[in-house]
Amino acid sequence: MRPYDGRRILLGVTGGIASYKTAWLARLLAQAGADVDVVLTKSAREFIGAVTFEALTGRPVHSELVSEGHALDHIKLARAADLVVVAPATADFLARAAGGQAGDLLTACLLATDAPVLLVPAMNDRMWAHKQTALNVEHLRGLGYAIVEPDAGLLASPQEGAGPGRMPEPDTIFAHAGRMLEPKGALSGKRIVVTAGPTREAIDPVRFLTNYSSGKMGVALAAAAWRRGASVTLVAGPLATPLPTGPDVRTVESTAEMAAAVRVALAAADALLMAAAPADFRPAAVATSKIKKASRPGAVALEDTADILTSTRAARRPGAVIVGFALETDDVIAHATLKLAEKDLDLIVVNDAREEGAGFGGDTNRVTLLGRDGEVVSLPLLPKTAVADAILDRVEALLGGR
How many Cβ atoms sit within 10 Å of the Cβ of residue 158?
6
Query: Looking at per-residue confidence, does 162 or 144 come out higher?
Result: 144
pLDDT value at residue 257: 97
Is 124 catalytic? The answer is no
d(CA 210, CA 400): 37
Which residues lie across from 194 on neighbouring strands?
A: 234, 273
Query: Among 124, 136, 211, 351, which one carries the catalytic annotation?
Result: 211
Pairing of strands 117-121, 146-147: parallel
pLDDT value at residue 153: 78
pLDDT value at residue 286: 96
pLDDT value at residue 157: 64
pLDDT value at residue 160: 63
Handedness of CA 234, 239, 245, 250 (dihedral sign): positive
> Averaged over 42-70, what is the pLDDT?
93
pLDDT value at residue 161: 63
d(CA 290, CA 300): 14
pLDDT value at residue 158: 63
Residue 88 and residue 16 in contact, taking contact as beta carbons nearer than 8 Å: yes
> Averaged over 273-295, what is the pLDDT?
95
Provide the 8-state DSSP code for 153.
Answer: S
Handedness of CA 154, 156, 158, 161 (dihedral sign): negative
Provide the 8-state DSSP code for 89.
Answer: E
Q: Which residues, 6+ apart, have CB-to-CB distance to 75 below 8 Å?
A: 112
- Per CATH, the homologous superfamily of domain 8-181 is Flavin prenyltransferase-like (3.40.50.1950)
- What kind of architecture, by CATH, is found in domain 191-400? 3-Layer(aba) Sandwich (3.40)
By CB atoms closer than 10 A (0-12, 13-18, 19+), residue 353 is middle
> Using alpha carbons only, what angle is made at residue 225 by residues 219 and 226, rounded to the nearest 5 degrees?
90
What does the mean pLDDT of the chain come to? 94
Handedness of CA 360, 236, 391, 277 (dihedral sign): positive
Q: Which residue from 176, 119, 123 is spatially nearest to 153, judged by alpha carbons? A: 123
Pairing of strands 271-274, 281-283: unpaired
Residue 357 and residue 381 in contact, taking contact as beta carbons nearer than 8 Å: yes
Give ranges for CATH 3.40.50.1950 in the chain: 8-181
pLDDT surpasses 70 at 14: yes
d(CA 173, CA 195): 24
Q: How many helices (H) and strands (E) does the chain have?
A: 13, 22
SS3 of 78, please?
helix
pLDDT surpasses 70 at 159: no
Handedness of CA 179, 185, 190, 193 (dihedral sign): negative
pLDDT surpasses 80 at 71: no
SS3 of 98, please?
helix
Provide the 8-state DSSP code for 164.
Answer: E
pLDDT surpasses 70 at 40: yes
Helical spans, DSSP H, in 81-169: 91-98, 105-112, 125-129, 131-142
> Using alpha carbons only, what angle is made at residue 94 by residues 92 and 99, rounded to the nearest 5 degrees?
100
> Averaged over 172-185, what is the pLDDT?
97
Handedness of CA 218, 386, 399, 367 (dihedral sign): negative
> Averaged over 11-23, what is the pLDDT?
96
Share of the chain above pLDDT 70, in %: 98
Helical spans, DSSP H, in 32-112: 50-57, 73-80, 91-98, 105-112
pLDDT surpasses 70 at 156: no
d(CA 250, CA 218): 13
pLDDT surpasses 90 at 46: yes
> Averaged over 246-254, what is the pLDDT?
96
pTM for the predicted model, two decimal places = 0.94
d(CA 58, CA 80): 17
